[in-house]
Amino acid sequence: MKQLSKPKYHTVQNIVWMIGNAWRSCKSVLVLCVLAAALTVGVNMVQLFIAPQILSKVEQHAPLPELVSTIGVFSLALFLVLGLQAYVNQNTLYGRVQVRSYILGKLSLKSASTSFCNTLDTAVLDLRDKAYRSVSSNDQAGEHIWTTMTNLLANLAGFVLYLILMQNLDPLLLAVVAVTTCLSCLFTLRTNEWRYRHRDEEAKFFHQLQYLKNKAESVELAKDIRIFGLQPWLQGIYDSVLKLEEAFIERYSKIQLLGNAIDVVLSVARNGIAYLYLINMALEGSLSASQFLLYFTAISGFTTWITGILNEGMTLHRESLDLSSVREYLNLEEPFRFEGGKPIPAPGKDGYELRLQNVSFRYPKAECDTIHNLNLTVHPGEKLAIVGLNGAGKTTLVKLLCGLLDPTEGAVLLDGQDIRQFNRDDYYALFSAVFQEFSVLASTVAENVSQTVGGGDRERVRTCLEKAGLTEKIDSLPKSIDTQVGREVYEDGVLLSGGQTQRLMLARALYKNGPILLLDEPTAALDPIAENDIYLKYSQMSAGKTSLFISHRLASTRFCDRIIFVAGGNIAEEGTHEELVQKGGGYAKLFEVQSRYYREGRDF
């Protein structure tokens, strides 16, 4: 498996990337971001000047009408600016959610279309999980970065304006204020940084507790909890994880307490120095009472702007790291070809030939090959059965044939051409498949069969359901093929049994009508009668196709042209059912064991 590339994206690059996403999905986010920052500064400036200006009028013994008009002007300005700020803040949410949803859509598309081998790579899965966490809620980097950038803009603008306002004060005082503020902020940031550095540890506790909670409340596990008395066991695990989380919180609280204590000491020192300096200026007659109030308030606000710049800058850096994981996942190099490539050749009269040529395959971090130096040719129009014990490599073999995996060594050929030359999506289009794992979506029966919005060709859907032996069940449903499947989304959805779901998946494969039919344990959830019904229809379903049939039930393979018995990652035996039974090898022994349980009159 390939090594993950780790491209570096610095903060500026990630800001530009987010701006690009906003420009493509919701331009108003950019305008509102700047406007919100300007209004934040505007509100602060009005609040800064209102009290000193009123006090100045009192000091000047201004007439009452002038005093009242000053109060009215500032009150009206504050009312308007606060009202506009509230309006802007309220309306920024929708656009920011839209941008985050746009990024989520990109991630979903990447997850749905990435090379199948990436879904088996733990490094890729970890990166994917980090990417999704970064855009999972309003508070995560994928949306909160707009708040951070708005606050950073506001703090930078406020810092510049306050610096201009206080230019007549002693530079040494401003330096003392700036230094003490930076020291205080750095200790606070150090405290917050500790929690950020340990966020994976904290997230692990949360996910473990959430997992246990979900399992304890799940319908699927309800029977086991009661029959096997699992409640004390689950509670014990929950309590042990909870203790670890509490120990983590206690560690963080101690660090936070120390940071807060240092912050208090520095704040007292800073304000004390500012008080002494301004009081001294007032006693010397250099400052009026209104100027004293203005400058002292400005010094307090100046520290707020500095703190804000440092805090928001650090937050922006952390959010940039989170966004880097999003970009790294989206830009993850694909081992399969999904663009360009040679066109798929047209099928021959009897269909396509598939060939495995000296193929070996080893899963990531596995100690040995699952498939080793295997050679196999599936002839055009052939019905090939692949059988063997669990873990023999049957499913891996089929995943190699249908292009979900690439060999570690050797090649997979389609009519003599290496499939790595083709666009992999075009190659996938050749296969109609029923896999062991069901993939039913919360949608109608017709949509699950046709895999299209609206249900596709309804007559064709019904024909495929009939071939799969599901017509009677579907006709008994309230809305027939328009009935919703599953109750995860729709309360009135129908719950199909395992066998019925397997038939539904078979109908889906028939609807696609690819030239190569792949059935991986298609009757595992069916009873013997239903299983026999599927076998009787198999010739009809596979007519004109190259077909691959995987099963651990050897009796089900008699209708196939050829059977290969897989063992130890290679083909141990091959032939028809009768030929393999006569050989008396591994296939015959396994068939003998299985057939005992179906013989009439046998006592066990």
CA-wise closest residue to 533 among 563, 502, 564, 508: 502
For the chain, give the mean pLDDT: 84
CA-wise closest residue to 423 among 359, 345, 513, 509: 345
Number of C-alpha atoms within 13 angstroms, CB side, residue 330?
A: 19
243-258 pLDDT tens trace: 888 888 888 888 778 7
Q: What is the pLDDT of residue 435?
A: 81
Lowest-pLDDT range of 346-350, 381-385, 456-460: 346-350
User: Do 542 and 433 meet the contact criterion of CB atoms below 8 Å apart?
Assistant: no
Element (H, E) at 572: strand 570-575
Q: What are phi and psi for residue 456, nearest 5 degrees?
A: 60, -145
- Gap between the Cα atoms of 496 and 444, Å rounded: 12
* SS (HEC) of 10-70: CHHHHHHHHHHHHHHHCCHHHHHHHHHHHHHHHHHHHHHHHHHHHHHHHHCCCCHHHHHHH
Lowest-pLDDT range of 36-40, 136-140, 600-604: 600-604
Q: What is the pLDDT of residue 602?
A: 46
Residue with tokens 């779901």: 501
- Name the range with the highest mean pLDDT among 44-48, 103-107, 119-123, 227-231: 103-107
Residue 548: both structure tokens together:
């691959």
**Confidence check: pLDDT of 3 > 50:** no
289-313 pLDDT tens trace: 787 788 778 887 778 888 888 888 8
360 beta partners: 409
- Gap between the Cα atoms of 280 and 287, Å rounded: 9
Q: What average pLDDT does range 31-48 have in this prediction?
A: 92
Q: What average pLDDT does range 134-163 have in this prediction?
A: 91
**Confidence check: pLDDT of 429 > 60:** yes
> What's the Cα-to-Cα distance from 159 to each of 154, 181, 190, 256, rounded to whole Å?
8, 13, 23, 27
Residue 307: both structure tokens together:
């703190």
Instruction: Tell me how far apart the terminal alpha carbons of the chain are, to the nearest angstrom.
Output: 48
- Gap between the Cα atoms of 597 and 604, Å rounded: 9
350 vs 580, higher pLDDT: 580
Residue with tokens 């670890």: 244
504-550 pLDDT tens trace: 888 898 898 889 988 887 666 566 666 666 666 666 677 778 888 88
Q: What average pLDDT does range 159-178 have in this prediction?
A: 80
Q: What average pLDDT does range 91-114 have in this prediction?
A: 93
Q: What average pLDDT does range 340-349 have in this prediction?
A: 88
Q: What average pLDDT does range 130-141 have in this prediction?
A: 91
Q: What average pLDDT does range 433-451 have in this prediction?
A: 83
Q: What is the pLDDT of residue 106?
A: 95
**Confidence check: pLDDT of 206 > 90:** no
